[in-house]
A and B are shown apart, each in its own frame.
Chain A
Amino acid sequence: MFDTLQEKLQQTFDRLAGKGKLAEADVDTAMRDVRLALLEADVNYKVVKDFVARVRERSVGAEVMRSLSPAQQVVKIVNEELVALLGEVARLDLSGNSPHVMLLVGLQGSGKTTTAAKLALQLRRQGQRPLMVAADTRRPAAITQLEVLGKQLDIPVHSEGSQVAPPVICANGVQKARASAYTAVILDTGGRLSIDDELMRELEEICKRTNPQEVLLVLDAMTGQEAVRVAEDFHKRLKVTGLILTKLDGDARGGAALSIRAVTGIPIKFVGVGEKTDALEPFYPDRMASRILGMGDVLTLIEKAQENVDREESVKLQRKLQENKFDLDDFLKQLQQIKKMGSITHLMEMIPGFSQMAKEIPEEVTDSHLKRVEAIIRSMNMTERRDPNIMNASRKRRVAKGSGTTVPDVNELLTEFKQMQRMMKQMRTPRGMRNLMNMFKQ
């Protein structure tokens, strides 16, 4: 999981160290890594091919920026191309007369019913009056599932049992919405294979009778090479207006999103990031790009670092980390560099593997916490910063007074710092990293 593209590229370039320009041969070796990384992220084979060709062209002869290593330079180009390909942040089309009809379609088990509820909740938060329509008559208890979700959210569900034909249910649902002044209708349909002609015809019928403003394809982020074909099939018959990528709270890279966008041009409108009904987020191309590369937002980090961080300083820091000589003074320096880059929560999100954790921490907490930490360290003298173990009661009282905090606050920081040192030791092995992650999830 942490075998990221950047690490691979780093290894490649380590062998070819000390070049100011990216030579053709180096780039070719690097492109092999890029190709495999994208394939392992389930990006469609053909898309990968075109993509790699484009990146290669841009990379050959490119000046390596002084603040970046060649590996970072290539990653930067890859990332820029990925973001470009993933397109803009797309929004739901809520223009024109209400009710706005949204049709959810997709394969079995992609998460349509859950997404229907999430979408309804989101629309209500935007001031709409949503109505959900239960038109999955084939899967056992699918209607009940939507009804239960409706009840939980207090959003009405139109259902007519499983004996009525889905197009009829949908048409009636829209009729009802019109009559009762609902402003948005969400049609939940049964999962189907895109090659199932009969069931695809059923969707065409639903489209004809309800004239949906949005036809949203719900796709599991774990989908492999097949994604493009599925999207193409649905798009051909239904004019899909947007993609919703689900189960992104897992660790699937979601290369399918890129493939679909590249091949069909369908914009990605939302991503599902959890089982709770509010776990539906807008889609951000830059985040997705980094995810596909398996590296959190390291890219943005690189960019920000370029602007703010003294490279030599960070090399020194890294060496200290590796040698386990990281002290409170280094920590302070790091904090200051981080502060230049933005909020800590946001930064955590950028680090591979930490994004999940970051979500669980409220922003105010971490940032005010950070300020306090800084004040405490600043109130310590250099000897104390280098060896926090010498902090006795008297020193702690002095530091607390100087920083406007309390002795328990100082203690907390010291304990945290010790934990951090231990963590850093662990982080140097993949196994340790995983244990660490588990620790946080507990």
Chain B
Amino acid sequence: MFWRRNKEQKQEDDAKIEESLVKTKRGFFNRIAGLFTAGDITPAFWDELEELLIFADVGGNTSVDLVEKVREAAEKQGLKKTIEVEALFKQYLAALLKRNTRAFAEGPRMLTVILVVGVNGSGKTTSIGKLGKWYKDQGRKVALGAADTFRAAAIDQLKIWGERIDVPVFASQSGADPGAVVYDSIRACIAREIDTLIIDTAGRLHTKFNLMQEVTKLRSVAAKQVHRAPHETLLVLDATTGQNGLTQAKVFKEAVEITGLILTKLDGTSKGGIVFSISQELNLPIYFVGTGEDITDFAAFDPDVFVEGLFKRETQGV
């Protein structure tokens, strides 16, 4: 769905998302699934549904909205049993995520440049390592650019990832101009016929105007070297993030034109429910999910699988 991948790979991906959501399911979404078996639809049922969405960080307003819509639709269709609402509800959730299924970094080009941005501690560097591996497994020639010259030892961290996945890392020293790193990385990629460059940037809170300006600069540096670069600007979002995730995505989108999301730390008990609001309000696709600390704990995001996974009933225990 996101780009060409073979069947096994897709199955493997789906399994990973589902696996990571097992813990999630055991939490509140599992209670949602439990709700649907309960019998007649009562006002309390709707309240509980709303509660559970809120617990999943879907957000007060979105949850109220969502339940309202499903409720209307259910009444229109004359549904009586909670179990009948399940399919309808899933449909609505999936629809929210499916509004935007633009292919990731599509199209053949000499050099694909991907800029990765996000707030501090969201998991940018780790995601870049994993994304690099992902691309490499597809037979691409990958390099990483270390444009986080601010945080202590960020360059070292990326270099270690580079070693792990065996791809070159282009870096300057700490404190160097990130724009120069982007420039040098692109030149080096062209010289060495590398076709995919993933650039790590410093963590920045979206409220810091100057730091957001810096990303704009990085983008324009890239654009001057490669046609239409960066081809993707990805926002890395921690799945534990609450309602601020929406503001984050909004500001990043306005300021630096992010094109999609990587949702990280989905192996925790967090549900990443904020992606529903983000998808609804900002029309941004979620491209990947990070599901653990291992290199391979990374998968393409699939809205259907994501939603299906949230509702899948446990066969044994819990």
Contacts and interface: CB of A to CB of B under 8 A. Distances in A.
Interface in A100-147: 107-111, 138-142, 144-147
A139 B270 CA distance: 21
B269 A222 contact: no
Contacts of B243: 39-42, 224, 253
Nearest to A109: B121
Interface of B: 23, 51, 54-57, 59-61, 64, 119-123, 125, 150-154, 156-157, 159-161, 174, 205-210, 238, 240-245, 247-248, 265, 267-271, 273-274, 293
**In the complex, which range does the number of interface residues on chain A fall in?**
35 or more
B54 A225 contact: yes
B156 A226 contact: no
Nearest to B251: A251
Nearest to A152: B152
| Closest 8 pairs between A and B when the two form their complex, measured CB to CB | A224-B242, A109-B121, A39-B60, A42-B242, A140-B160, A145-B153, A441-B209, A148-B152
Nearest to A139: B157
Interface string A232-270: 000000000000000101111101100000000000000
B123 A108 contact: yes
Given A40-B60, A45-B54, A441-B210, A141 B157 contact: yes
A36 B243 CA distance: 12
A111 B51 contact: no
A146 B154 CA distance: 11
24 contacts: A40-B59, A40-B60, A40-B61, A45-B54, A109-B122, A110-B121, A141-B157, A145-B153, A145-B157, A193-B267, A220-B240, A224-B241, A224-B245, A225-B54, A225-B242, A226-B240, A227-B242, A250-B207, A250-B244, A251-B206, A251-B207, A251-B247, A252-B247, A438-B209
B258 to A, nearest CB: 17
Interface in A261-299: 275
B318 to A, nearest CB: 13
Contacts of A223: 240-242
B313 to A, nearest CB: 20
A349 B216 CA distance: 29
Given A107-B268, A438-B209, A220 B121 contact: yes
Nearest to B210: A441
A40 B59 CA distance: 6
Given A42-B244, A140-B157, 5 more contacts: A108-B121, A109-B238, A138-B293, A221-B244, A224-B240
Contact of A222 (B51, B125, B244, B273): B244
Contacts of B152: 144-146, 148-149, 152
Nearest to A41: B243
Nearest to A106: B121
Contact of B156 (A45, A140, A356, A442): A140
Given A41-B243, A107-B240, A247-B119, A225 B57 contact: yes
Contact of B56 (A147, A225, A250): A225
Nearest to A145: B153
Contact of B245 (A1, A147, A222, A249): A222
Contacts of A108: 121, 123, 265, 293
A195 interface: yes
Nearest to A1: B247
Contacts of B123: 108-109
Contacts of B120: 109, 111, 247, 275
Contacts of B150: 275
Contacts of B157: 139-142, 145
A229 B61 contact: no
Contact of A35 (B60, B121, B265): B60
Contacts of A195: 23, 268-269
A441 B247 CA distance: 18
B238 A220 contact: yes
A156 B269 CA distance: 36
A234 B125 CA distance: 26
Contacts of A107: 240, 265, 268
A253 B244 contact: yes
Contacts of B209: 437-438, 441-442
A223 B238 CA distance: 9
Nearest to B157: A141
Nearest to A249: B205
A77 B271 CA distance: 33
